[in-house]
Amino acid sequence: MKCLRSWFNSWSILFGISLVMLAATASASQLPDFTVLVERNSPAVVNISTTQKVSRDNSPGNGVPPNLNIPDLPEDSPWGDLFKHFFGEPGEGGPEPFDRQSLGSGFIIDSDGYIVTNHHVVRDAEEIVVTLSDRRQLPAKVIGSDARSDVALLKIDASGLPTLKTGKSKDLKVGEWVMAIGSPFGFDHSVSAGIVSAIGRNLPSENYVPFIQTDVAINPGNSGGPLFNLAGEVVGINSQIYTRSGGFMGLSFAIPIDVAMDVIKQIKGSGHVRRGWLGILIQDVNRELAESFGMKQPHGAAVLKLLPKSPAESAGIKVGDVITEFDGKTIYRSSDLPLVVGSTPIGKQVDMKLIREGKEKTLSIKVSELPNDEEIAKLDGKPKETSTNRLGLSVEDLTPEQRRQLELAENGVLVSNVVKGPAFSAGIRRGDVILRIENQDIRNAKQFHELIKSLPTEKSIPILVQRRGGPAFLAIRIPEKK
């Protein structure tokens, strides 16, 4: 009996191990095999290298740190040429610009040489070189680029190229397998895979892209490369990573291909991208705000400000309204509204639901085209910047909100930029508030500009600035013009 029991126990253990191995084999067989997808699609993925001209100077943020004093060196010193190369001759405007190179990825959408990548990959590039899978290197030109969506369209002089098939990003589901091909850190045709972590993700600095969030390993150099579904279709363009180390940390973001192809279509058609616009500033509605607005639960976009002569002002929208629906689409968060409005055809008349003083209201609004940043700044009444080369700085008027935060009644102008010159040498930096110059109060940028015209040269002039909440006197000397 004891022998029989021992045999039975041994058989049970073996049977259990077999079941575990069988289950493991079954699980492994259910994991996706990406080998075919890689073989089919890699030839249409390209490496993009760019060259930009970058200037070295002694301005803040460039060249030598402002607190580093370059020593006086003998004329025959072997270090002389090195310092001149990096920092320029004393008193000169700095050395000549140097070339900076960067890498990215892209993919071919047309056999005649049209390539899609990120806007930030080719921004400010003076030279763009595309390396194909067969190792050919061809110069590329930018057909069009859109900063707001981070999408760019390039063209190379070639034909008969392999292309990728685009899918529909709107059909993506959270948990679905996806794969990326690109050139992280310059390593061509590197493949990584993962799942869709979230869809419709809004990032703080991006208002017009509902990003696809994945846990695919994306690193510098992957930007502009394709994100595939298991059918081998491009569903996104890898664009950003969330990182504290500079490398992949499990949060990667891709531009939905539906958004990207709409941008590409507009670039091909007119050379630029048009988006809908209402002309309002908005914020999220939390639980406390919802209660104060007479809402049962927090949702929608609360209107903070109306820009003058905007569609919102014409439609009768008021500060304090909470927009809950636009053109039949529910607005759950404030970040939903720019996405919906931006994709609305220009000139379309749509209905919009909102809550005003606890009551639901419907307004009709005609969507207009989103102006450029300069036009929006003018509508928003942002202070005009005044620049002067005599001191080497730019100033702008303080807004009422800035005066309130700084506890300033009337005096002061904000330093918006400082370049190499008397102001920088005196220690004035961007963000300082200039209160007085040579015992005269500074009221606004216009008065500041007039005052500095009459300042004496070759004499130390007291200048009172406010920095980090406290005032400080600095001495500035304006050299005589030669």
The structural domains of the chain, with segments of one domain joined by +, span 44-156, 169-270, 276-374, 383-477
CATH superfamily of 276-374: PDZ domain (2.30.42.10)
**pLDDT class of 276 with cuts at 50, 70, 90:** very high
Mean pLDDT of the chain: 82
Q: Which two tokens stand for residue 344?
A: 């609305």
Q: What pLDDT does 60 receive?
A: 42
Task: Identify which has the larger pLDDT, 102 or 442.
Answer: 442
Task: Identify which has the larger pLDDT, 379 or 182.
Answer: 182
Q: Distance between CA 28 and CA 351 in Å, rounded?
A: 52
Single-letter amino acid, residue 459: K
pLDDT at 322 over 90: yes
The CATH number for 383-477, chosen from 2.30.42.10, 2.60.120.380, 3.40.50.300, 3.40.50.720, is 2.30.42.10
Q: Is 135 left (phi over 0), alpha (psi -120 to 50) or beta?
A: left
Ranges 12-26, 345-359, 370-384, 438-452: which has the least confidence = 12-26
Q: What pLDDT does 82 receive?
A: 46
How many other CB atoms are found less than 10 A from the CB of residue 311?
Answer: 20
Q: What pLDDT does 153 receive?
A: 96
What is the average pLDDT across 449-476? 82
Active-site hit among 57, 150, 258, 397: 150
Q: Distance between CA 86 and CA 94 in Å, rounded?
A: 8
> Hey, do 44-156 and 169-270 end up sharing a CATH topology, with the first three levels equal?
yes
Q: Distance between CA 310 and CA 378 in Å, rounded?
A: 12
Active site residue 150: yes
Q: What pLDDT does 188 receive?
A: 87
Q: Distance between CA 164 and CA 133 in Å, rounded?
A: 13
Q: Which two tokens stand for residue 380?
A: 């928003």
**pLDDT class of 139 with cuts at 50, 70, 90:** very high
pLDDT at 404 over 80: no
What is the average pLDDT across 8-17? 55
Q: What pLDDT does 478 receive?
A: 85
Reported as type and span, the H/E element at residue 342 is: helix 336-342
Q: Terminus-to-terminus CA distance in the chain, angstroms?
A: 114
Q: What pLDDT does 66 receive?
A: 44
Active site residue 112: no
Q: What is the pLDDT of residues 106-126, one digit of tens each?
A: 999 999 999 999 999 998 888
Active-site hit among 102, 145, 190, 223: 223
Q: What pLDDT does 63 receive?
A: 47
pLDDT at 46 over 70: yes
Cα 342 to the center of its chain, rounded Å? 17
Q: Which two tokens stand for residue 479?
A: 């050299």
Quick one: what percent of the chain has pLDDT higher than 90?
43
Q: What is the pLDDT of residues 251-263, one digit of tens each?
A: 899 999 999 999 9
Reported as type and span, the H/E element at residue 181 is: strand 177-182
**pLDDT class of 154 with cuts at 50, 70, 90:** very high
pLDDT at 283 over 70: yes
Q: Distance between CA 79 and CA 72 in Å, rounded?
A: 11
Topology (CATH level 3) of domain 169-270? Thrombin, subunit H (2.40.10)
Active-site hit among 120, 133, 416, 425: 120
Active site residue 272: no
* Top-tier CATH class for 44-156: mainly beta
DSSP-derived secondary structure for 249-260? -S-EEEEEHHHH
Report yes or no: 128 and 154 within 8 Å, Cβ to Cβ: yes
Q: Distance between CA 110 and CA 162 in Å, rounded?
A: 8
Q: Distance between CA 406 and CA 433 in Å, rounded?
A: 9
What sign does the CA torsion over 59, 418, 385, 204 have?
A: positive
Task: Identify which has the larger pLDDT, 245 or 63.
Answer: 245
What is the average pLDDT across 409-436? 86
Q: What is the pLDDT of residues 220-252, one digit of tens each?
A: 889 999 999 999 999 999 998 887 666 666 789
Q: Distance between CA 418 and CA 395 in Å, rounded?
A: 9
How many other CB atoms are found less than 10 A from the CB of residue 257?
Answer: 26
What is the average pLDDT across 380-384? 57
DSSP-derived secondary structure for 299-330? -SEEEEEE-TT-HHHHHT--TT-EEEEETTEE
**pLDDT class of 375 with cuts at 50, 70, 90:** confident
Show Cβ contacts of residue 407 under 8 Å, excluding neighbours closer than 6 positions. Answer: none
What is the average pLDDT across 362-386? 75
Exposed/middle/buried for residue 256 (C-beta within 10 Å: 0-12, 13-18, 19+)? buried
Q: What pLDDT does 31 receive?
A: 83
Report the C-alpha dihedral over residues 287, 293, 299, 300, rounded to 10 degrees: -140
Q: What is the pTM of this model?
A: 0.66
The highest-confidence range among 12-16, 153-157, 389-393, by mean pLDDT, is 153-157
Single-letter amino acid, residue 450: E
What is the average pLDDT across 102-108? 92
Task: Identify which has the larger pLDDT, 228 or 458.
Answer: 228
